[in-house]
Structure 1
Amino acid sequence: MPRAPLPIGTWGAISTWVVQTDDKGQAVKHKSQARFRDHDGRLRPVSAYGTTKTAAERALLKKLQDRAKTNQSGELTAMHKINHLLDLWEKRFEGLVADGKRSPTSLVTYRRALKNYIRPAVGELRIGEASTPRIDTVLSKIKTNAGAPTAKTCRAIISGAMKLAVRYGATSVNPVREVDAIEAKPKNPPRSLTTEEVTLLRKSLAADDRAVQADLPDLVTFMLGTGVRIGEALATVWSEVNLEAGTVEITYTIARIPGELLRKTTKSRAGERVLSLPRWAVAMLRTRHAAGIRLDDPIFADALGGFRDPSNTRRSLRTALSPVGSTARRNLGQSLQTLRRKVCLTRKQVAEALGWPQTKIELIETGRIKVDQQLVADLVKTYNINLEDSPTLQAEIEAAAQPAESDKLAWIRSHALRKTTATALDEAGHTARQIADQLGQAKVSITQDVYLGRRAANPAAAEALEQAFDDPDLL
């Protein structure tokens, strides 16, 4: 009966002999060899060398064990670098984007994470070296340095790549599977604008020349009246509006990818919807329509009549949602702007020196955010000015620090408009499913947890309990 063949990925007996001696006949080099049954079923000799018999055998065992991990299937082995695995994963994701199954903006986000965090941290490791403890350590560092959201993105990418490695046979398990879930600080509860805040916001935008020039008052009105995302609002063209029926069809969104402004289908199939418009939104659209339009023009076009960049629009909206403050605040901003220009510094240079966002300098100089003594002291220090030696500037700061009506809107971000629409529908008695359909969301749970603002008190609940327990014997 013939001998059973070696299983694939195993080896036979190890032989070791002397291959080199010195002038005195002492062995100085040994060779160890064994036959290895490769992934294709063939037996091949594998050799290693060492200065001693033990060293040669140890080197051969390491070589045989590594070769066993490289049980090749397709394009990957355990000995390939993770960078190679990531290249394959990225190529597959590109194919999903081309097929319309994934968003090109997701690809941009993932490429950024790959370049900035994942490849520098694990790219030069071998696939077989990607252990759970090592991946856990890498993700913990990313969370510490870049934040939980970035770490979650990196975890998803690495997990997807290692799943690919499992499918190709380069590893038997996904090491990311046992890594602890990345937890972030609890998000602030959903907050929507009150009726008074909506009125104040619209008045503030209408009185702000820069906001009017950026066409923000009507854009905010449209977003409040529909609950659409900024990209969806900017992608809507006049042919999708029916003023007679008072409806608008949402089918596309605008996304910015490197070197291109892309009008693409909505985030999900749930995003394709027809929305009924409130009368005040229809009135706004009628006014714009009367000024002259073309059916293929966007409702909210840029200066050249084309689609607006959502990133630039968000920036303008962030500035507008930090409304112009009091006269004292604006006067202080002008004084600080004059001091900066005297020392010939740009906003960008000042922001880099302080480690601030550039927009923060702009908001201070336009009187759009509340300041205090310490903030201004840090700012003017870059202009070689000691605040204690400038009583006039200190007086301006004291006046600017007084509360202003616009401070009531300082918390608002663009997504608050969407939450305001959702909460208004909730208070009107619409179901969570109806609100999710309005917002273009597939999961009702996201609508309930993230978009519906919670009221502090519910009078109807008290009334219902009174009726349920209106029994003197229970008191």
Structure 2
Amino acid sequence: MARQPLPLGSWGRIGVSPATKSDAGRPLSYRARAKFRDFDGVTREVKAEGKTRSAAEANLLVKLRERASARHGGTLKSTDRFSVAAALWLDQLDAKVADGRRSPSTRDAYRNKLEKHVLPALGEVRLGEITTPLVDRVIQSIKSRVGAPTARSSRSVISGVLGVAARHGAIVTNPVRDADTVPSTPKRRPRALSDDERREWFAMLSRDPQAVAADLPDLTVFLLATGVRIGEALGLLWSEVDVDAALVAITGQVMRVTGEGLVRRPTKSAAGQRILAIPGWCLEMLAARRARGIRPEEPVFCDALGGFRDPNNVRRDLRRARAPRGNEARQSLGAALARARRTAAKSRQDVAEALAWPRTRVELVESGRVRLEPQDVAALADLYRVTQRGRSELILLAEEASRPMDMDALAWITSHTFRKTNATILDDAGLSARQIADQLGHARPSLTMDVYMGRGASNRAAAAALEEALSTDAPEPKVAGFVDSSRARPKGPGS
């Protein structure tokens, strides 16, 4: 019977013999040999030397184990550093973005987590050295320093990189699979604007010259009427608006891509390609904007030069609008904190990263636009190394500035609030999950509905529901700060 070949990556019996001898014939060193079957199927002899038999055998075993772990079937080896696999993973991610299988914003977010949090912890570790306990320690460290959301994203990045390593044969299994998950804090229940809150929102916008100049009244009317994402609203072209038929075609979205700038790309998914019927109060706003002169390939909600607006800047404008300048105490506290930050030679971005705050919160604090609790002021005082006397003054200001104001009632609003409000109105009106999913451009609610119900058709029932629900509250149409006083105030969502 023929001898069975060695399994791939294994070795046979180890033999040890003298390598060199003295003039008297006494062994000075030893050589250990063994047959090793490489991953290309070829059996080769592997050698190692040592001063003693046991040392030679031990040195050979180290070589054999390294050879077994350095799987030659792929581009990566177990002896390669994590950073090498990460570069390969990024290349694959770039290819997916180019093919339209991943969003550029997703790529940029993952790259940010990789460079800021993952590579500093794992970049120089060899792939064969990465274990589940090590991954656990890294993820928990990121969670304690930055927070659970960043830790969850970093876990996904580590898993993606090590998945590439596993597919290339550098490791046997992905150790992230058995790593502890990062529990997510239950999200707040989705909240929609009530009738009173909608009216107060538009009233607040009308009193804010910056909000009017930023074209927020018309934009939020459109977001309420359609439920589209903010990038989709900013990507809407006049060629996609049919005022006569009361229809808009949602085909693209505006986003900022690293290295490319502001670009218009197809919608987030195939489900996002849709045609929406719009209620009359939104149609009046669009007709008023069109009457002032347009070009077909110009965005409906354009910047001062007729180009696309940056969604990040619009979100910043919304944050400012929902938090108008507060009372004298809040403004005084903000000014004092700004002076302390400059004395400490810290940028606003430094502060946001240190406290895991949104980037714009520091600016809103220093302009007196948001309410700060005393413990938040204490954290800032610690970060700025404020003297005891200065700290006491800040805490006194904070106690007065933290008193509730009417302006705080709408501080929770985000760009997605209008989308949730649209969905809530449609749900209350009795529309099916399929109709609401088509309105919002969501993925299919179920396979059966997706197979047997059409996509892309305009949903007149949605427009009728929005017309009925919001027909008493429309704001006066405005375009980038321009107010047409000759027009009567139409009915809609914010009177």
TM-score range normalised by the length of the shorter chain? 0.7 to 0.9
Residue 338 of structure 2 contacts residue 366 of structure 2 at CA under 8 Å; is this kept in 1?
Answer: no
- Partner SS for 1:248: strand
- Partner SS for 2:30: strand
Task: State how far apart, in whole Å, the 2-side matches of 1:76 and 1:342 are.
Answer: 52
Distance 1:397 1:131, change over 3 A: closer
Q: Give the equivalent residue in structure 2 for 1:275.
A: 276
Task: State how far apart, in whole Å, the 1-side matches of 2:230 and 2:343 are.
Answer: 30
Q: TM-score, normalised by structure 1?
A: 0.81
Task: State how far apart, in whole Å, the 2-side matches of 1:333 and 1:198 are.
Answer: 26
- Partner SS for 2:35: strand
Distance 1:312 1:22, change over 3 A: farther
Q: Give the equivalent residue in structure 2 for 1:436.
A: 437
Matched, 1:163 2:163: yes
Distance 1:10 1:379, change over 3 A: closer
Q: Give the equivalent residue in structure 2 for 1:363.
A: 364
Residue 12 of structure 1 contacts residue 36 of structure 1 at CA under 8 Å; is this kept in 2?
Answer: yes
AA aligned opposite 2:283: V
AA aligned opposite 2:251: T
Q: Output one character per residue of 1:209-255: Cα deviation in whole Å (capped at 9) or x when no partner.
A: 11111111111111111111111111111111111111111111111
Q: Which aligned pairs between 1:48-447 and structure 2 lie closer than 5 A?
A: 48-259=48-259, 260-325=261-326, 329=327, 331-333=328-330, 335=332, 345=342, 349=346, 351=348, 352=350, 359-364=360-365, 366-371=367-372, 386=389, 402-444=403-445
CA apart distance, 1:269:
0.5
Residue 353 of structure 1 contacts residue 382 of structure 1 at CA under 8 Å; is this kept in 2?
Answer: no
Distance 1:56 1:374, change over 3 A: closer
Task: State how far apart, in whole Å, the 2-side matches of 1:118 and 1:210 are.
Answer: 40
Distance 1:111 1:401, change over 3 A: closer
What is the aligned-residue RMSD (CA, Å)?
3.4
CA apart distance, 1:36:
1.8
Residue 46 of structure 2 contacts residue 64 of structure 2 at CA under 8 Å; is this kept in 1?
Answer: yes
Q: Output one character per residue of 1:256-292: Cα deviation in whole Å (capped at 9) or x when no partner.
A: 1223112101111111111111211111111111111
CA apart distance, 1:202:
0.7
Q: TM-score, normalised by structure 2?
A: 0.78
AA aligned opposite 1:245: A
AA aligned opposite 2:248: V
Instruction: Return 360-369 or 421-430, whichever deviates more.
Output: 360-369
Task: State how far apart, in whole Å, the 2-side matches of 1:128 and 1:40 are.
Answer: 20
Distance 1:13 1:337, change over 3 A: closer
- Partner SS for 2:34: strand
Task: State how far apart, in whole Å, the 2-side matches of 1:63 and 1:280 are.
Answer: 76
Task: State how far apart, in whole Å, the 2-side matches of 1:226 and 1:138 are.
Answer: 43
Q: Output one character per residue of 1:271-330: Cα deviation in whole Å (capped at 9) or x when no partner.
A: 1111111211111111111111111111111122110111111111111111344xxx0x
AA aligned opposite 1:270: A
AA aligned opposite 2:125: L
CA apart distance, 1:122:
2.6
Distance 1:87 1:398, change over 3 A: closer
CA apart distance, 1:390:
7.6
- Partner SS for 1:300: coil
Task: State how far apart, in whole Å, the 1-side matches of 2:146 and 2:377 are.
Answer: 28
Task: State how far apart, in whole Å, the 2-side matches of 1:142 and 1:340 are.
Answer: 28
Residue 252 of structure 2 contacts residue 266 of structure 2 at CA under 8 Å; is this kept in 1?
Answer: yes
CA apart distance, 1:161:
3.4
Distance 1:17 1:262, change over 3 A: same
AA aligned opposite 2:181: A
Residue 347 of structure 1 contacts residue 361 of structure 1 at CA under 8 Å; is this kept in 2?
Answer: no
CA apart distance, 1:346:
9.0
AA aligned opposite 1:419: K
AA aligned opposite 2:405: A
- Structure 2 regions of 5+ residues with no counterpart? 447-495
Task: State how far apart, in whole Å, the 2-side matches of 1:223 and 1:102 are.
Answer: 25
User: Which one scores higher on RCO, CA 8 angstroms, separation ≥ 6?
Assistant: 2
CA apart distance, 1:98:
1.1
Task: State how far apart, in whole Å, the 2-side matches of 1:313 and 1:388 are.
Answer: 35
Instruction: Return 22-31 or 147-156, whichever deviates more.
Output: 22-31
Q: Give the equivalent residue in structure 2 for 1:453.
A: none
Instruction: Return 151-160 or 281-290, whichever deviates more.
Output: 151-160
CA apart distance, 1:143:
2.8
Task: State how far apart, in whole Å, the 1-side matches of 2:152 and 2:391 are.
Answer: 46
- Structure 1 regions of 5+ residues with no counterpart? 446-475
AA aligned opposite 1:425: L
Task: State how far apart, in whole Å, the 1-side matches of 2:181 and 2:393 are.
Answer: 53
Task: State how far apart, in whole Å, the 1-side matches of 2:146 and 2:392 are.
Answer: 39
Task: State how far apart, in whole Å, the 2-side matches of 1:30 and 1:155 are.
Answer: 47
Residue 76 of structure 1 contacts residue 165 of structure 1 at CA under 8 Å; is this kept in 2?
Answer: yes
Distance 1:348 1:409, change over 3 A: farther
Count of aligned pairs? 439
Distance 1:218 1:117, change over 3 A: same
Residue 333 of structure 2 contacts residue 398 of structure 2 at CA under 8 Å; is this kept in 1?
Answer: no
Distance 1:8 1:411, change over 3 A: closer
